[in-house]
């Protein structure tokens, strides 16, 4: 009867498991503590007939050792198990997650490059307001009132009488500069401009331009040409050709559109140049005498050239980007491609 109990407890001890600290404590209470079943059996020892005392004593000692050993091993597995769960997901041998460095926006890279090239030619950088009076955006630039030329650019009007607009080009800064200062002027004026256009791959309601202005005594079309030649070679490569195409702008006379030879297909014909081998990069011309006069500069004494180019356009050509919307969508997959560029 007593021996049966010992066997029964042995089986229970062997089968015991501890999934949590609680299980371990229960095991200790049941088989090891002063109130354990094992202690109870020891207390019953005196009731065992003398001839069985030796065998029972041995059996009891075995039971006690078994319980203690089991307790130790249960405690160990529980320990290992819990330290594992505490450090779960932390593998110190894993390689580090590389830093996600930011990148400079392609328009900033392009603008900085343009600035750098012109600064080396002695141009400084100026800026002006994006919310602009009609006078600076149109009138002073020789756009007559109600002249259809105002409709060349789809204007966002934001206030009436006196009219305020979101500037449609950076040419407003020319006027502000010339009005405030005295010649000579040799500046470039980068900035954001706005037009009321449906957003598509080729048009946007805002984009960026760089305006250029050089006003001094004896500035001629040849100076415009040399400046543009140098810029194009620096920006697009030594072998890029330049073509001036007659055009019209109210604020320049004569006016010319500037094309460069397609540096993507090198004259073989491609989508970018639409198989014409030329791509347009800027408008330009000699500052119209009326514009100089509007700013209080004597056109008999001073002449000047001006140009305006789209930064997006230059960036699209340079990086072969085929959708204008990418510049303002903040898609990191697009932006990350410019990592490491400045
Ligand atoms: N303002 C013109 C535009 O937005 C670009 C331009 C053309 C600027 C000729 C100039 C210039 O300074 O001389 O389309």
Domain contains 38: yes
Domain contains 92: no
CA-wise closest residue to 302 among 214, 194, 217: 217
Domain contains 6: yes
Residue 284: domain span:
106-335
Percent share of the chain, pLDDT over 70? 96
Report the separation in Å between the CA atom of 321 and the middle of ligand 1, taken as the mean of its atom positions: 23
> Which of residues 84, 114, 130 is at a domain's end?
84
Residue 193 pLDDT greater than 90, yes or no: yes
Check pocket membership of 138 for ligand 1, CB cut-off 6 A.
Answer: no
Instruction: For ligand 1, pick from 165, 169, 214 the residue to mutate: most ligand atoms within 8 Å of CB.
Output: 169
Report the separation in Å between the CA atom of 57 and the middle of ligand 1, taken as the mean of its atom positions: 110
Instruction: Pull the structure tokens for residue 64.
Output: 């006690």
pLDDT tens-digit profile of 217-254?
Answer: 999 999 999 999 999 999 999 999 999 999 999 999 99
Same domain, 137 and 6: no
Which CATH number covers residue 175? 3.30.930.10
CB–CB of 178/215 below 8 Å? Answer: yes
Number of domains in the chain: 2
Check pocket membership of 134 for ligand 1, CB cut-off 6 A.
Answer: no
Instruction: Give the C-alpha separation, 130 to 168, whole Å.
Output: 9
pLDDT-derived band at 96 (thresholds 50, 70, 90) equals: confident
pLDDT-derived band at 333 (thresholds 50, 70, 90) equals: very high
pLDDT at 88: 67
- 307 or 40, greater pLDDT: 307
* 299-338 burial code (b ≥16 CB/10 A, e <16): eeebbbbbbbbbbbbbbbbbeebeebebbeeeeeebbeeb
Same domain, 114 and 72: no
Residue 128 pLDDT greater than 60, yes or no: yes
Check pocket membership of 211 for ligand 1, CB cut-off 6 A.
Answer: yes
Same domain, 61 and 151: no
Domain contains 154: yes
Instruction: Please state the pTM of the whole predicted model.
Output: 0.72
pLDDT tens-digit profile of 143-172?
Answer: 988 777 676 678 998 998 888 999 999 999
Same domain, 45 and 140: no
Same domain, 172 and 280: yes
Same domain, 250 and 110: yes
Same domain, 43 and 177: no
Domain contains 186: yes
Q: Which residues pair with 309 in a beta bridge?
A: 210, 282
CB–CB of 103/332 below 8 Å? Answer: no
What is the CB neighbour count within 10 angstroms for residue 168?
Answer: 21
Domain contains 95: no
Same domain, 150 and 208: yes
């Amino acid at each position: 009867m007593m021996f049966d109990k010992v066997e029964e407890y042995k089986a229970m001890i062997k089968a015991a498991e501890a999934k949590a600290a609680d299980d371990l404590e229960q095991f200790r209470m049941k088989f090891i503590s002063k109130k354990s079943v094992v202690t109870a059996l020891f207390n019953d020892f005196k009731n065992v007939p003398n001839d069985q005392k030796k065998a029972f004593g041995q059996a009891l000692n075995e039971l006690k050792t078994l319980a203690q050993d089991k307790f130790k091993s249960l405690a160990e597995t529980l320990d290992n198990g819990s330290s594992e769960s505490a450090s779960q997901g932390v593998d110190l041998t894993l390689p580090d997650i590389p830093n996600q460095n930011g990148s400079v926006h392609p328009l900033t890279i392009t603008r900085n490059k343009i600035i750098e090239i012109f600064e080396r030619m002695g141009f400084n950088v100026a800026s002006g307001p994006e919310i602009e009076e009609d006078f600076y955006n149109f009138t002073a630039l020789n756009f007559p009132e109600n002249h259809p030329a105002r409709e060349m650019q789809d204007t966002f009007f934001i206030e009436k009488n006196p009219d305020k607009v979101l500037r449609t080009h950076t040419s407003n800064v020319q006027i502000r500069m010339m009005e405030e200062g005295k010649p000579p002027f040799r500046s470039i004026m980068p900035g954001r401009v706005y037009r009321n256009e449906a957003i598509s791959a080729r048009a946007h309601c805002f984009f960026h331009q760089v305006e250029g202005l050089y006003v001094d005594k004896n500035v001629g079309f040849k100076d415009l040409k040399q400046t543009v030649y140098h810029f194009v070679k620096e920006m697009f490569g030594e072998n890029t050709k330049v073509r001036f195409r007659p055009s019209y702008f109210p604020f320049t006379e004569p006016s010319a559109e500037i094309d460069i030879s397609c540096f993507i297909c090198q004259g073989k014909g491609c989508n970018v140049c639409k198989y014409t081998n030329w791509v347009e990069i800027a408008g330009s011309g000699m500052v119209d005498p009326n514009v100089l006069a509007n700013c209080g500069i004597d056109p008999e004494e001073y002449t000047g050239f001006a140009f305006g180019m789209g930064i997006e356009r230059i960036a699209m050509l340079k990086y072969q980007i085929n959708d204008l919307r990418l510049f303002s969508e903040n898609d990191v997959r697009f932006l990350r491609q410019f990592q490491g560029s400045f």
